[in-house]
């Protein structure tokens, strides 16, 4: 199995060139990391929204009757 993938890499390198293969490999690796970072940023945004909602509740306090 490993030999087939090595032969595949050599064929790819010989067909499109070493710099192109390295660039493609790095792009695929970068895409994986960007997807992971995007997910983390979305999670942080949701956490911040929840925190702001909690802070707003604390500032206003629970709805209570006004004193006369």
Task: List pLDDT tens digits, range 23-63.
Answer: 988 998 999 999 999 999 999 999 999 998 888 766 676 66
Structure tokens at 55: 């802070």
Q: What pLDDT does residue 3 have?
A: 57
Q: What pLDDT does residue 13 have?
A: 84
Tell me how far apart the alpha carbons of residues 17 and 13 are, in angstroms, rounded to a whole number: 5
Q: Are 21 and 13 in contact (CB under 8 A)?
A: yes
Neighbouring residues of 13: CB distance < 8 A, sequence distance ≥ 6: 21
Residue 67 has pLDDT above 70, yes or no: no
The residue with tokens 């710099």 is 19
Q: What pLDDT does residue 61 have?
A: 64
């Amino acid at each position: 199995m490993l030999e087939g993938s090595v032969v595949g890499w050599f064929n790819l390198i010989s067909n499109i060139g070493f710099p192109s293969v390295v660039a493609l490999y790095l792009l695929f690796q970068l895409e994986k990391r960007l997807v992971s970072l995007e997910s983390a940023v979305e999670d942080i945004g949701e956490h911040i929204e929840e925190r702001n909602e909690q802070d707003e509740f604390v500032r206003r306090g629970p709805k209570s009757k006004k004193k006369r």
